[in-house]
Amino acid sequence: MDFDYNRIDEILKDDPLGELTRKERTMLLLISVVAIGISKAGLVPTKIVGFGVEFSNIDRSAILWLLVATVLYFMVAFLAHALPDFLSWQVRYNRFWAELANKHSRLEEKYGPGYDEMSSESQEPSQLWERYSKSRARFKTVTLLKISLDLAVPVLIGFGAIVIAAMAAWCQAGVK
């Protein structure tokens, strides 16, 4: 069984989040933007003419609290799906790294230090090993970027929406 040395590139290019997690992320961002828009622009309705319903300040406050609860729900749902997906992505990389290190160690035990089955006359011994050793630094950089964009930004926007909507709800309830 040949070892696929190019799997590392596939793992690094892989999307760490699954399809369901992406949908949860989209909903979190959408609901957060709606909550911020309603809270900051004061778009809470005072009455719905078609139904003859008129909202008091307390009712408008309740609508804002409902938005807070909705954003909180989607944030928890997103994190519940995102963290396992992201950790699974890291496990795939670590498993590849462990297999590579194990194979390299066995080859060095068998043929001596510096042996690399992929080396040719034009390559220094262990040149490929060094390439994959450097992939750890690439993985850390890619991981930091993916965590920032895929996990931190939606959660920060969701948290901001919760704070803004909650402050608007308190202000709305305090207005007589």
pLDDT at 5 exceeding the cut of 50: yes
Separation between Cα atoms, residue 168 and residue 43, nearest integer Å:
11
User: Which H/E stretch holds residue 47?
Assistant: strand 47-48
Q: Give Cα separations from 120 to 89, 124, 130, 134 (angstroms).
A: 32, 8, 15, 20
What was the pLDDT predicted at 131? 64
- Taking the complete model, does pTM exceed 0.85, yes or no? no
**From the centroid of its chain, how far is CA 52?**
44
Separation between Cα atoms, residue 81 and residue 76, nearest integer Å:
9
pLDDT at 169 exceeding the cut of 70: yes
pLDDT at 135 exceeding the cut of 80: no
Separation between Cα atoms, residue 82 and residue 65, nearest integer Å:
25
Asked which of 22-26, 46-50, 127-131 is least confident by mean pLDDT, the reply is: 127-131
pLDDT in tens, 24-49: 999 999 999 999 998 998 776 666 66
Please answer whether residues 115 and 107 qualify as being in contact, where contact means their C-beta atoms are separated by less than 8 angstroms.
yes
What was the pLDDT predicted at 144? 81
pLDDT in tens, 84-122: 998 888 888 788 878 877 877 777 777 776 665 555 444
